[in-house]
Structures are given as structure tokens and as C-alpha cells.
Amino acid sequence: MRTRSLIVLMICFGVCFPYCSIAAGLGKAVVRGGGKSVARSLRRPIYRPKAFDLRRDRITPLRTLKQERTVDRYTRSATALTELKRGISPNRHMTSISTRRPLTASSAKLRLGLPTKPDVVERITVPKGTPLHFNKVVGGKPGYGEITAPSRLPSSSIRRVIKLKP
């Protein structure tokens, strides 16, 4: 009986861990005999901020800019070089407004929910009449806004590239 339950636990943990959102809590719940809590956490969907963000950006209504706006885009230096040549690809995130002094790399990562620390900030001028999605940052500090453009922005809209402090 004991061997059978161990095999069931091994199968459960081997198969279910990649699909559950809080793997660390499951072991304690099983030891304590919390069968219902284990079942609940296995049914809970996995939280993927990037997938949620992309889906949300698609369904957010477009608004056109009434006047020219300067925004920031925190990114890696290699990406900035590519964007200086080819322009900014569609659906890339930018801050909703530009700040006088750029954030440090670590504070930009925390505030904007970026997966990696950025090296540079691009100062971008978005022309009047450009359709944009206005949303809040996912995975960062609450209350900060972001914008995405569903169409490519030309490389001429990038005004400056500023190296960030770590």
C-alpha cells in the first residue's frame, strides 16, 4: 500500500509540476494531507505575464494621438542598434510619457516589469495621429502606463539613445 502511494506521488509530481503555478506549496500540502488544496492548485491556470500582456494589447481599443508625444523605450543596446536601422517593430512596449532624467537599469526593470535589465533608453517622438494602445504595465509597479503601436514606427522617430547607469 505504501509503495503504491509513493508511486502515485512520484507520478503526480513528475507529470504535474511543469503545469502548476505554485510547485513549492504542493509538497507541504501533500504531507499535511491537504488533498483538496492540491487538486485546486493543479486546476489553477499558469500565470504568464507576457502572454496575458500580448492578449490584452490586442483587445484594447486604439486611440489616435491628438498631438506629438515623446516617450521612452528601455531596451538592450543590440536591440537599439537594430531599431535605429530598421525602425521599431509593431507591438513593442514604450512608456506612456518620457521623463526628464532616465531611470537606472535596475529601477526600470522593477517599475516596468522587464525580463532583463536594459542597457539603454531610446527617446522616441511619436507623431500626431498615430494609433496606439494605452495600458498599464504588467509585472511591474502598479499604476504606471505603457503604450504599444500596432504598426511599425520609422527609425526617424528615435531621437536619442542614452546609455543607462546600472
Report the distance separating Cα 106 and Cα 164, nearest Å.
10
**How much is the pLDDT for 21?**
45
Give the mean pLDDT per block of 10 residues along the chain (166 residues).
53 50 50 58 62 86 96 97 96 94 94 93 96 92 93 96 92
**How much is the pLDDT for 19?**
47
Convert 3-51 into a string of H (helix), E (strand) and C (coil): HHHHHHHHHHHHHHHHHCCCHHHHHHHHHCCCHHHHHHHHHCCCCCHHH
C-alpha cell at 35: 488533498
**How much is the pLDDT for 155?**
95
Phi, psi for 113 (deg, rounded to 5): 70, 40
